Amino acid sequence: MGANFCNFGGEGIIMRKDVLEEIDMLEKFDNMTTWTEFEEILTAAVAAGYPGLINADAEGTVISPGPYIAGSDKLEEAYWVDVAGDGNGQIYIDQADGKVKCYYMNEDYKNNLIRIGDWYTKGLIYKDASTAEEYADQQIKNGVGTAMVKTLEYGWAGSLPAACGYEMAVKFTGAMNLLGTGAFTKFGWAVPVTACQNVSNEYKPMLSSGVYGADTEAKYQEYIAALEGAGINDIIAEYQRQLDEWLASQN
C-alpha cells in the first residue's frame, strides 16, 4: 500500500481506503500491477455510488502529472522524464539518445490521453475536471472525487490523510523522482514560447481530463499540428543548442 515508503517521492495512485474496503477491493488495489486493474476498481466504486477520478492540477490532469508519463498498461513502466527546468512542460530530454523532444509528442503520452478519454466516456472521471478551480486533495475532502493520481513528495504519509480528510491507500507506479537537469536559459519573451503556451491552454485541459472521449485521437492530432504551427520546433532547437553546448563544455 506504500505506507512504508514515505521517504521518497514519485507518482502515486491514491484512493480513499474506506471506499476500497466497502467495495472489497483494498487487497486488489494494494496488489494491482496495471492501469486496467485500476479501471476495474474505479468502475466498482462508481457503481457503488461514489465519484471517480479527479484532476491533480489546474490543467485537468487525471493521470501522469508532469514530469511523468504512463507507458504501457503496466504501472511499473510509467516513467519520469527530465524536463530541463522547463516550467511550461513543453520539452524533455530523451535519456535514450540525449535529444530534446516535445513532451506532448511522446507516443506514450498520446496513448495515455486515449486511455483517459475512454475512462471519461465510461463515467470514471469527474466531468468538470478540465475547468475545476479546486483540485487534488481539496476535491477529495469536498467529496467530489474518490481517487487521484499525483506527485507525492517526502513525508506524504503524514500529510496526505490530513489534506484529504480521509485515510488514503497509496500505490506507486514506476515513475519515481530522479535528479534532473537544471533550468536552461529560456527565452520566455520570445513569440514561440508565448504562442505554444496559448495552444496548450486551449487543448491540454480537455485532453488531460478525457473530455474529448472517442474524439481524443483527432483532437490530439489537432493539438500537435497547432503546436508545430506556433513554433514548438524552434523551442526544441534552442534547448538542443544549449544542451549540446553544455555537453561540449564538459569534455
Total-model pTM:
0.89
Give 122-165 as a 3 state SS string.
Answer: CCCECCCCCCCCCCCHHHHHCCCCCEEEEEECCCHHHHHHHHHC
Instruction: Go through 209-243 and write b for each residue having 16 or more CB atoms within 10 A of its CB, e for each that does not.
Output: bbbbeeebeebbebbbebbeebbbebbbebbbeeb
pLDDT in tens, the chain (251 residues): 333 444 457 899 999 999 999 999 999 999 999 999 999 999 999 999 999 999 999 999 999 888 899 989 999 999 999 988 887 889 999 988 989 999 999 999 999 999 999 999 999 999 999 999 899 999 999 999 999 999 988 778 888 999 999 999 999 999 987 766 665 555 554 558 889 999 999 999 999 999 999 999 999 999 999 999 999 999 999 889 988 998 888 87
Nearest to 166 by CA among 5, 47, 60, 15: 15
CA distances from 68 to 115, 189, 231 (A): 15, 27, 24
Q: Residue 17 and residue 44: Cα distance in Å, rounded?
A: 14
Can you tell me which residue has the cell 483540485?
135
